[in-house]
Amino acid sequence: MAEKNNPLVLTNARVIDPALGLDEAGSVLVQDGKIVAVGAAANNQGAPEGAVKMDCGGAIVAPGLIDMGVTVGEPGAEHRETLESASQAAAAGGVTTMITSPDCDPIIDDPALVDFILRRARHTAIVNVHPMAALTKALEGREMSELGLLKEAGAVAFTNATIPVSNSQVFARILTYARDFDALVVHQAKDKDLAGSGVMNSGLRATWLGLGGVPREAEFIAIERDMRLVAMTKGKYHARLISCPQSARAIQIAKNDGLNVTAGISINHLTLNENDIANYRTFHKMSPPLRTEDDRLEMVKALADGTIDIIMSDHNPQDVETKRHPFAESEDGALGLETMLGAGMRLVHSGDVPLMKLLAAMTCNPADRLGLEAGRLSKGAPADLIVFDPERPWIVEKEKIRSRSKNTPFEDETLQGRVLTTLVAGRILYNIAA
């Protein structure tokens, strides 16, 4: 293993960096945890004396992935996931930076709790961890959190996790206050009254299965409200996860109007649809629910044309006690850290999304939105890197999942595109051959 202060040269690689528009054969030179040179220029520069060389065998070297959708059980539900176990899963999936959700126990709505997450991560996690803090006290949607103090403590953004802020006056106040701190508001838009007690996408499939449906309107009407409030307050807004084309259209209109908005989507909603629920498979129960195949295809187009900016895993570990129930009674959520890139490569292999666009949505786009140095191969940037083979097939085996929970929607499926090595600050933290 190359230590942080030892020079490391990744040779014989296809170097891809969406931030630089770089896709060429070459090398990556790392020293003191930073990137020194990339691509053909690194070949010309040569290796410094005493450098460790790693032959990539023609595999791709790219920036490490940044995942804006990671829920961990720590504190409060460590049996489901800890920062340590989540980071191990992240490294295996090529995720070098996790952005964690505040829906823990206690809720991350106090500066001391932000500090706790950061200190705990430094001691136990092997990848970078940046916490998001709660938009409202206890995620109840009534009283705004102390956004300024939370940002000062280290929160990179603010969210109410999967719980929408339904009160428009409260949300407008949040957007205005956050704007003054240049803080990003990450919101899961949903009209709770329209969604009701639905548990899957509203439509014929739900009727056949005898399950309550969640109409698309419950999402896109709320998105349209949010866009109006962003226009009114001039706030900085990110739609945490959209799932239907009407939402994408509302986001695109807002962008065309010059609003400071971006949109995210989970890898699940890009690669799965409501038919995957099959015979009540609870690992496919998510919020928002998986939509139709036509909806999925439209969302893939929205990613390809730039309407959707960021892909996240929506990693939400649930154990057997919360998933082994009838579909309607089981908890929402699925794992995603280890499978985000492999599942995303389906879109590349199908020809629907260029590889550069896919990687941008997982690297430089979230980095830019959050103001992070990572997510690029620029000289002087942190040497957070992945080496992956885009053609290598692998089977998602439950026994080999590194998360404490095992609720992956891709169980026993074959994915094509495998992470071989993951480095954070120049240190090799995961190597498939090890």
Residue 88 is predicted with a pLDDT of 98
pLDDT digits (tens, 9 = 90+) for 379-422: 999 999 999 999 999 999 999 999 999 999 999 999 999 999 99
- From first CA to last CA, the distance across the chain in angstroms is 10
Token pair recorded at residue 161: 């996790």
Residue 21 CA, chain-centre distance (Å), reads: 22
What does DSSP say about strands 261-266 and 237-239: parallel, antiparallel, or unpaired?
A: parallel
Give me the helices (H) in 8-63, please.
Answer: 40-45
pLDDT digits (tens, 9 = 90+) for 218-268: 999 999 999 999 999 999 999 999 999 999 999 999 999 999 999 999 999
Instruction: List, in sequence order, every residue forming a beta bridge with 427; answer none if it has no partner.
Output: 424
Once rounded to an integer, what is the mean pLDDT over residues 169-177?
98
pLDDT tens digits, one per residue of 324-364: 999 999 999 999 999 999 999 999 999 999 999 999 999 99
Quote the pLDDT of residue 44: 79
Task: Give mean pLDDT, residues 23-42.
Answer: 94
Q: For residues 212 and 350, what is the distance between their CA atoms, to the nearest angstrom?
A: 33
**Per-residue CA distances from 233 to 33, 117, 176, 177, 432 (Å):** 41, 31, 5, 9, 48
Instruction: State the pLDDT at residue 53.
Output: 93
pLDDT digits (tens, 9 = 90+) for 183-198: 999 999 999 999 999 9
| Measured distance CA(404)–CA(316) in Å, rounded | 11
Q: 8-61+383-406+413-431 is classed in which CATH architecture?
A: Roll (2.30)
**Which residue blocks in 12-125 are alpha helix, DSSP H?**
40-45, 83-93, 111-124
- Taking only the tens place, the pLDDT of each residue in 50-91 is 889 999 999 999 999 999 999 999 999 999 999 999 999 999
Neighbours of 220 (CB within 10 A): 22
Report, as residue numbers or ranges, the catalytic residues.
Answer: 314
Q: Token pair for residue 36?
A: 């020194």
Give the tokens for residue 211: 């399950």
Instruction: Tell me what pLDDT residue 4 has.
Output: 47
pLDDT in the model for residue 42:
87
What share of the chain in percent tops pLDDT 90? Answer: 95
The pLDDT value recorded for residue 2 is 41
Which neighbouring-strand residues pair with 213? Answer: 200
- Give me the chain's average pLDDT, please: 96
**pLDDT of amino acid 49:** 80
Fold of 65-370: TIM Barrel (3.20.20)
pTM: 0.97
Q: Average of pLDDT values for 360-385?
A: 97
Residue 433's pLDDT is what? 81
pLDDT at 41 over 90: no
pLDDT in the model for residue 47? 75
pLDDT band at 11 (very low <50, low <70, confident <90, very high): very high
Q: Which two tokens stand for residue 108?
A: 């991350």
Residue 434, pLDDT score: 63
Strand 237-239, strand 213-214: pairing: unpaired
What gap in Å lies between CA 434 and CA 307, rounded to an integer?
40
Greatest Cα pair distance in the chain: 68
pLDDT in tens, 281-291: 999 999 999 99
Q: Where are the domains positioned within the chain?
A: 8-61+383-406+413-431, 65-370
Domain 8-61+383-406+413-431 shares a fold with domain 65-370: no
Q: What is the spatial distance between Cα 291 and Cα 295, in angstroms, rounded to a whole number? A: 6
Of 61, 52, 62, 57, which is closest to residue 1 (Cα–Cα)? 52
